[in-house]
Amino acid sequence: MSLDIETSQWNNSEFLKNKNNKFNKKEVLDILPESYMDEAHEVISKWANYSPTPLISLNKLSKKIKVKNIFYKDESKRFHLKSFKALGGAYAVEKITKGNKEVIISTATAGNHGRSVAWGSKKLGLKCNIFISENVSENRAEVMRSFEANVIRVKGNYENSLNECIEQSHKNNWQIVQDVAWQDYKLVPKLTMAGYSVMMKEISKQLNTNKISHVILQAGVGGMAAAMIAGIARYLDHIPKIITVEPDSAACVLESIKKGKIEKISIDKESLMGGMSCGEVSLVPWEILKNSVSHCVSISDDNISNTVKQLANSGFADKKIVGGECSTPGIISLIGMCNNSEVKKELDLNINSNVLLFGCEGDADEKLYQKLLNS
């Protein structure tokens, strides 16, 4: 199937150049050390059914928007959890509990992190309590219950579920395994990020002789984006332009980069990209993002469904790809940037560019995926 949708009018909501951009490899690796990332790969690569996820060429899209290559890291088949988050939460559970079967695990989640924590807890025979907001689909909740987790629904948004998790965990002496860092809570988020960095280790081998010129990273609380930046510092021999993308209704990284400090924002309307609908960047990722990111982009939900359908119907590549809602932002933002001649020139996006994108998830929420596919 050829690329049969009109993309020439796709635009980004906001584009920002980071005036504080100055990549410092040593500073990045001081925050997420090489030893953390190397150990995560050593441990995770020994898990049952581990294999590197594919790096797919979106050759039809690259031809359409006139760049050399678009490489898409497809996380839809990461273990059986359908998301890169399988690498983070489960690894952190294993590391932090150190074989102690008496530990009770807790976390708050928008979906995929909780799935990973629940899976990791079940593997180790641990009890697990997962707090979700009223915005998390019942389909995602059922998947977590399938790993024997106790799922507790909280009124309000993700922030409310996190606050309830922290309160109940302190009261009951549960071990929080969160991908969000705050003051005096940094080790577990670093372990989670170290798990994510396995993706960049795999990518470094899959690229062969190709050098990435641009990487576009989804940013919710910033954990995945910061982990990939640390992975770039550790495993690549060059530094590409690093761009973050967020929903325009929850662009907490963009607003923080704009102000030069962590900026908490209020979310008036939840994005379809629920896993990225976050009001505040996490503390540890921020220390990496604030100087390493060259540009920030925000997007609306308008082209999510079209992107999901094009991935599924071989519109962007020679093969069909199952990409959920949070796999679309890199593609949407890249098309938008290439449609804006000033932005394209600013980023030096051209026929020699090799762009790296992340397909963060497959049909992790099967009902929403089918809805997007059939809309």
The total of other beta-carbon atoms located within 10 Å of residue 341's CB is 8
Q: What is the pLDDT of residue 274?
A: 86
Q: Across the chain, which distance is largest between two alpha carbons, in Å? A: 58
Q: How far apart are CA 158 and CA 163, in angstroms?
A: 9
Q: What is the pLDDT of residue 96?
A: 96
According to DSSP, the β-strands at 69-74 and 55-57 are: antiparallel
Q: Quick check: 201 and 228 in contact, CB under 8 A?
A: no
Q: How far apart are CA 262 and CA 25, in angstroms?
A: 22
Backbone angles phi, psi at 154, to 5 degrees: -120, 140
Q: How far apart are CA 214 and CA 68, in angstroms?
A: 11
Q: What is the pLDDT of residue 7?
A: 84
Please, what are the domains in the chain?
A: 14-83+192-374 (3.40.50.1100), 89-178 (3.40.50.1100)
Give the predicted TM-score (pTM) of the model: 0.95
User: How many DSSP H helices and E strands does the chain contain?
Assistant: 16, 11
Q: What are the pLDDT tens digits along the chain (375 aa)?
A: 444 567 888 999 999 999 999 999 999 999 999 999 999 999 999 999 999 999 999 999 999 999 999 999 999 999 999 999 999 999 999 999 999 999 999 999 988 999 999 999 999 999 999 999 998 999 999 999 999 999 999 999 888 999 999 999 999 999 999 999 998 999 999 999 999 999 999 999 999 999 999 999 999 999 999 999 999 999 999 999 999 999 999 999 999 999 999 999 998 888 999 889 888 999 999 999 999 999 999 999 999 999 999 999 999 999 999 999 999 999 999 999 999 999 999 999 999 999 999 999 999 999 999 999 998
Point out which residues pair with 299 in neighbouring strands. 247
Q: How far apart are CA 83 and CA 220, in angstroms?
A: 15
* Residue 81 C-beta-side C-alpha neighbours within 13 Å: 25
Those residues with Cβ within 8 angstroms of residue 352's Cβ, 6 or more apart along the chain or in another chain: 68, 213
Q: How far apart are CA 116 and CA 90, in angstroms?
A: 5
Q: Quick check: 181 and 193 in contact, CB under 8 A?
A: no
Q: Which amino acid, one-letter code, is at 312?
A: A
Q: Quick check: 336 and 12 in contact, CB under 8 A?
A: yes
Q: 335's torsion region: left (phi>0), alpha (psi -120 to 50) or beta?
A: alpha
- Cα dihedral sign for 73, 74, 79, 84? positive
